[in-house]
């Protein structure tokens, strides 16, 4: 069984590769590649998998899940410029894919020693575009 929690954060980013020329960056990432960046209102859906505890009837307390997501993801990323303020995005291009991987990396260890485990991270960059990550 799966339980999910949704959270939102706003952050700025620049998608560009230092390996590429300005023209190649624009071709790959769009005209924003050579600017100081732009913002997105990201929507994150964190899904845990597990079996309800017979004593509590819960897989994981959703209040606690909210706290974990806040502490590990929202607080460090909300209203930040990812490239300049949120490692590893000083070195890693903050595409939605890489952001989902980093969110997974931050959240996955938080459920060790609990009956639940992280099943997936879904990250919407816009209403119509999102990435799903399952740890691979
Ligand atoms: Ni963008």
Q: Could you read off the pLDDT tens digit of each residue along the chain, which spans 136 residues?
A: 999 999 999 999 999 999 999 999 999 999 889 888 999 999 999 999 999 999 999 999 999 999 999 999 999 999 999 999 999 999 999 999 999 999 999 999 999 989 999 999 999 999 999 999 999 8
pTM: 0.95
User: 31 alpha carbon to ligand 1 midpoint, in Å?
Assistant: 10
Residue 125 CB neighbours (<10 A): 18
Contact 80, 118 (CB under 8 A): no
User: 53 alpha carbon to ligand 1 midpoint, in Å?
Assistant: 41
CATH class as words, domain 2-133? alpha beta
Domain ranges of the chain: 2-133
Give the pLDDT confidence of 88-118 residue by residue, as tens digits. 999 999 999 999 999 999 999 999 989 999 9
């Amino acid at each position: 069984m799966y339980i999910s929690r949704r959270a939102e954060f706003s952050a700025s980013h620049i998608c560009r590769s230092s390996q590429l020329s300005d023209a190649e960056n624009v071709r790959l990432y769009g005209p924003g590649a050579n600017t100081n960046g732009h913002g997105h209102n990201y929507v994150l859906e964190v899904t845990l998998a597990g079996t309800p505890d017979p004593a509590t009837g819960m897989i994981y307390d959703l209040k606690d899940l909210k706290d974990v997501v806040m502490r590990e993801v929202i607080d460090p990323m909300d209203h930040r410029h990812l490239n300049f303020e949120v490692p590893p995005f000083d070195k890693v291009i903050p595409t939605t894919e890489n952001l989902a991987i980093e969110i997974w990396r931050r959240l996955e260890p938080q459920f060790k020693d609990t009956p639940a485990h992280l099943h997936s991270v879904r990250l919407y960059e816009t209403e119509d575009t999102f990435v799903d990550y399952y740890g691979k």
